Structure 1
Amino acid sequence: MPVAVRTEPPIGTVVPEEVAQRVTQSFRGGPTTTPAAGPRPSPVPTPLPMAAGHRLLIYKQDPSVAELGIRTVFVQSTILNGPADTRIRTELPGVTPVGRNIDGDFIFPPNSPQFDCAHTFAVVRETLSMYERHNGGRPLPFAWNSGSNTDPITVFPRAGIDANAFYSRTAKALKFFSFTPPGASRPVMTNNSFDVVTHEMAHAILDGIKPGWIGTVDNPPQTGGLHEAFGDLTAIFMTLSQADQAEAFVAATKADLHATSFLPAMGEEFGAAFGLPFGLRNADNDLRLSDVGNEVHDISQVFTGGVYDILADVFAFELSRQRQVKSPTQILMEVASSLCKLLFDAIVASPRTGATYADVVGQLVRKSAERDDPPIYRTCILNRFAVREVVEPPVSLDELMSGNMDMANPHYTGGGDAKRIPEVRPADEKSASLRAVQDRSGCCGTMQMPEFRVVPADRLATRGPLTDEDILAAELAELRESFGKLDQNR
């Protein structure tokens, strides 16, 4: 079958330069014609100064999702020419620093180098801001940050030619590449994909929260799976944090999270270039641990699918009890934000290295109880991961598997004790996903980086920047030992 790639931006995404300029002019406020003369009203003093912020044009989803296209976002922080701020800087030789217009905004012709810089910066910034809100408004450190190191992460929107995108702790960078599939007339720009950018930024955020998780050495495959799953789930939570995307999803699916849509599909344009109908991955899957081995990309989809099912279950419950007072879009956005916060808190409370799915699921249950969620939340968490063979089922799954869960009952447990927090155990402690070495052959560029494949987990967990010596430490130690024997024989 022919490879589906973007030629020109599809209808709904085209924003020609003259339109972009007209949009910018319309933002300046005020009527376009001279108003009739009349009494001049006395201005009412503003009690607080206006919040600093800037407008930027971005792809609101993958470029192939025509119904969302390119829209304007408002980022409420101080952005310098670059674009850059205290946490993020943008680098594109010959282009950056990109300057703000007279209104202080970053509005550029779509698909221009300047647009790519502004778009990528905005999505990275919004992703970081989402998790900082879940962190109580406190800044989240990158893995190299400390009291004496406040270095930002550098974003390279056009890093070169490759079917790749990755995060590197050594380079303190996010790099996005482009590639032209066979027979295509235009390249696929990975930086233009909302999903790809949020996924890679999620690796950087999680590496700052749990720096010992990203390495292959001393970590089971499930730990790597958590990293990949966190990237995909971040793309979903970011999508549902934005009202226009959430509204478009609800309208397209009639509020059915299991209907075919752009939400569970990751990187549609990137995936289409390789003949994949649902993007690089599909979060709405039915994979169990027995369906996968030790390949981290496959394992990650088990966890991602479990959380996606929980999102659908909790949304169904909240929709049943709040539909008379809130719109489906508002309910979905609130449920997604709540679940994202719950996952964030569970990860923070999980082990510093070697974390397993059962570790995180156990923390999901405990954190849900601590914040006094209805018992049905914990029932959904345990049931969905029990079905996927991640944890032992606390009760019979007959009602779940027969479709007889009482989704309108906040105290529903399926026969368990609503007041007791069950102990969470792995369903199969001999699973290859827990005992084998990590196979990262199908993972994204981040998980393929040498620094994350050879540096021990304990070294990664100590935080701080990585150097080439860290990456070559094992080989250098062997050389020193070998050369030391030469010295002894002289």
Structure 2
Amino acid sequence: MTVQQQQAIPTVLVYEDDPGFPPKVNMPVPHPVPQLDTQPFPTAIAEAAPQQDGAGPGTEAFRYWVAADSLSRASQTWGPLVPTGTQWNPQVGRVLTAHLNAGDDLNAFYDRRGLWFFRRTVAGVTVAACESNEVVEHETGHAILDALRPQLFNAASAETAALHEAFGDISALLSSLRLESLRIAVLAETQGDIEVSSRVSRMAEQLGWAIRQGHPNAVDPDCLRNLANSFFYRDPVQLLPNGPANTLSSEPHSFSRVFSGAFLKIVAGIFRQQNLQDQAGLAKAAEVAGQLLVDAVVAAPVVSAYYAQVAGHMIAADQRRNGGRYGQSLRSAFIRHGILSLEAAASITEPEVARRGAGIAEATPGGGDDQGLTAVTVQGATYGITQPLTLSAPAQERRFGIAGSDPTGGSVRPADPELVATSFLEDLFRRGRVHVPEDHRSDTAFVDDNTSRLKTHEITRSATGEGLVLVRRCFD
């Protein structure tokens, strides 16, 4: 393309990944005007499109184009990787719509009606979630995974919820690595060691800074979360419901770091296996890792110890697609984070993958919300609720007999579905994340009515009219 042709392409100013860590911020750069109607994941923005006039940071026009660039790039990242025919969850409709000014908060969420981005002024800095590519690409990642595996939306399981959050951060990572400029910058910053902390591993630096002003230990020191970490798997049933950012808890964003940390090491390992460790090699490594993840989440049964099943199916996908070329990188990353025990990683052999191959090959995206889940009913009185409460517990048949590492040696025995579901429910109540309508509360109700805390779940009447059910409102 000639210089004249490049100059003729209409552009808008955007951030490439995040506004950056105040007071130092990243410089906006020109990008081609994004196309939102990208198949198979078309998107839209509720607000009217502004002029392409080069408006800078802090303006509504700039925020619009950053969000549009992010939505477009996330769609372009995942579109080529998903099975043919994949579409948004039916409740979303044909187009996923983003709302850029949803209210006063330091948050964003996906709720099957769209993407919602909030903003707040902190220490004189207006922090708009839609102004961060990483935040927008994270939330779009939730919608992508919901298109692939809608069963995860209402599953009463800390591990499936955490996989959703990990997928969001991975969505931001892979979308960033689509840009040659960022790949070059990361290679320079890390001196080619992709698994160390870098501009693309650090998620949402500005939002993390803003949260830290009021809650100093709630997020990482230099970002919201960092994929460059060493968190080691524990059964979330055994973890505390909350904790400071330097510890691991069952809270889904916290526990997500175990899987996203392993995924960054997978990208790094695949990159080291490329013929050339240059920006093109990094692009290839990101694409390969993303493809294996998509294959795995489509095929992996929804069970307790879900991380291990996804890990096993990534190894199986590599065996089918690449003849096992990247198996060592995959096993190493999952072992280092305890997602697979040593014996589990060794058990996923080529003959074992071949033996399970028919079931894996028949796996398709989508399906009903309750597919693979089992109803677990608990006494409502235990939770200050007037009627019995039904939860959707993960209970599909395991394809691989594998599990995570027990820190004392060997494998963790996966918890039974009822324990997984009730533990998840109790942690939601402990974190004040459940909305319980007044008419479902008993005299001993202990519901947290703090209106500033987003309720990710609610108690509602069963569709059958018998009892109550726990349903998810959103992923934030």
Report if aligned partners of 1:120, 1:192 keep a CA contact under 8 Å in 2.
Answer: yes
Within 2, Cα distance between the matches of 1:329 and 1:167?
32
Q: Choose the corresponding residue for 1:91, options 29, 46, 52.
A: 46
**Corresponding residue of 1:437:** 424
Cα 1:421/1:57, change in 2 over 3 Å: farther
CA-CA distance at 1:271 after TM superposition: 0.9
- Distance in 1, Cα, partners of 2:222 & 2:33: 30
Aligned pairs, number: 366
Give the Å deviation of 1:79.
6.3
CA contact (8 A) 2:202 2:223 kept: yes
2:74 to 127, 130, 133: 127
CA 1:128 to 1:162, structure 2 compared with 1: closer, same or farther past 3 Å?
Answer: same
Gaps in structure 1 of 5+ consecutive residues: 1-24, 30-52, 100-104, 397-412, 452-469, 481-490
**Displacement after TM superposition at 1:208 (Å):** 1.4
User: Cα distance, 1:239 vs. partner?
Assistant: 1.1
Aligned to 1:280: 224
Q: CA deviation at 1:370?
A: 0.3
What's 1:314 paired with? Answer: 270
Q: What residue is the counterpart of 1:177 in the other structure?
A: 118
- Deviation of 1:367 after TM superposition, in Å, equals 0.6
Matched, 1:72 2:35: no
Question: What displacement does 1:336 show?
Answer: 0.9
CA contact (8 A) 1:362 1:424 kept: no
Aligned pair partner of 1:253 in 180, 187, 190: 190
What code does the residue aligned with 2:402 have? R
**More relative contact order in 1 or in 2 (CA 8 Å, sep 6+)?**
1
Which structure 2 residue ranges, 5 or more long, are not aligned?
235-246, 354-399, 404-410, 437-457, 469-476
1:194 matched to which residue of 2? 133
Q: Deviations over 1:84-127 (max 9, x none)?
A: x99322123xxx2435xxxxx57433331122122212211210
Q: TM-score, normalised by structure 2?
A: 0.67
Change (3 A) 1:420 1:393: farther
The structure carrying a bigger strand percent of its residues is: 2
Aligned to 1:463: none
Match runs of 1:360-375 below 5 Å: 360-375=310-325
Q: Is the 8 A contact 1:288 1:387 kept in 2?
A: yes
Q: Distance in 1 between matches of 2:343 and 2:462?
A: 44
Shift of the alpha carbon at 1:448? 5.8
Work out the CA distance in 1 between the residues paired with 2:196 and 2:126: 30
How far the C-alpha of 1:255 sits from its partner, in A, is 1.1
Cα shift at 1:196:
0.8
Alignment of 1:467-478 (within 5 A): 472-474=460-462, 477=465
CA distance in structure 2 between the aligned counterparts of 1:289 and 1:78, rounded to whole angstroms: 38
**Residues 204-249 of structure 1: per-residue CA shift (max 9 Å, x gap):** 111111111022xx43211111101001111111111111111111
Deviation at 1:134, TM superposition (A): 1.1
Q: How far has the Cα of 1:442 moved from its partner?
A: 11
| Counterpart residue identity of residue 68, structure 2 | F
Match of 1:305 in 2: 261
What is the distance in 2 between the residues matched to 1:381 and 1:354? 21
Give the one of 130, 134, 147 matched to 1:208. 147
Question: Partners of 1:134 and 1:54 in 2: how far apart?
Answer: 28
Mark the CA change 1:391 to 1:108 in structure 2 (over 3 Å): closer, same or farther: same
Return the alpha-carbon distance in structure 2 between the equivalents of residues 437 and 381 of structure 1: 29
User: Helix, strand or coil for the counterpart of 1:289?
Assistant: coil
| Closer, same or farther: CA 26–225 of 1 in aligned 2, 3 Å | same
Could you tell me whether the CA contact under 8 Å between 2:43 and 2:96 is conserved in 1? yes
- Any residues of structure 2 matched to 1:79-478 within 5 Å, and which? 87-92=42-47, 96-99=48-51, 107-135=54-82, 138=84, 140-144=86-90, 150-169=93-112, 172-181=113-122, 184-215=123-154, 218-273=155-210, 274=212, 275=216, 276-290=220-234, 292-318=248-274, 322-323=275-276, 328-351=278-301, 356-375=306-325, 377-394=326-343, 419-421=350-352, 423=400, 425-426=402-403, 427-430=411-414, 435=420, 436-437=423-424, 439=427, 472-474=460-462, 477=465
CA change 1:79–1:475 in 2 (3 A) is closer
> How far apart in 1 are the matches of 2:461 and 2:89?
19
Q: CA deviation at 1:371?
A: 0.8
**C-alpha contact (below 8 Å) 2:34/2:69 kept by paired residues:** no
Distance 2:467 2:317 in 1: 48
Which whole-Å CA distance do the structure 2 matches of 1:230 and 1:78 have between them?
Answer: 21
CA pair 253-156 structure 1, distance change in 2 beyond 3 A: same
What secondary structure, in the 3-state scheme, does the structure 1 residue paired with 2:18 have?
A: coil
Identity of aligned residues (%): 24
Seen in structure 2, the aligned counterparts of structure 1 residues 389 and 98 have a Cα distance that, compared at 3 Å, is same
Change (3 A) 1:424 1:245: farther
Q: Distance in 2 between matches of 1:347 and 1:220?
A: 16
AA aligned to 1:314 is I
Deviating above 4 A after TM superposition, structure 1's stretches of 4 or more consecutive aligned residues are: 25-29, 65-68, 75-80, 352-355, 416-424, 430-434, 440-443, 447-451
Q: How many angstroms does 1:303 deviate by?
A: 0.8
Query: Mean Cα displacement is larger for which, 269-278 or 238-247?
Result: 269-278
Q: Distance in 1 between matches of 2:351 and 2:41?
A: 45
Task: Label 1:479 to 1:441 Cα distance change in 2 as closer, same or farther (>3 A).
Answer: closer
- The one-letter amino acid paired with 2:50 is V
Question: Which residue of the partner structure matches residue 39 of structure 1?
Answer: none
Q: CA RMSD in A?
A: 3.7
**How far apart, CA to CA, are the structure 2 residues paired with 1:417 and 1:386?**
13
**Higher Cα Rg, which structure:** 1
Q: 1:143 to 1:174 in 2, by over 3 A?
A: same
Cα distance 1:160–1:392, how it changes in 2: closer, same or farther (>3 A)? same
The DSSP-based 3-state class of the residue aligned with 1:134 is: coil
In 2, distance between residues paired with 1:67 and 1:313? 31
- Normalising by structure 1, what TM-score? 0.66
Distance across 1 between alignment mates of 2:401 and 2:330: 11
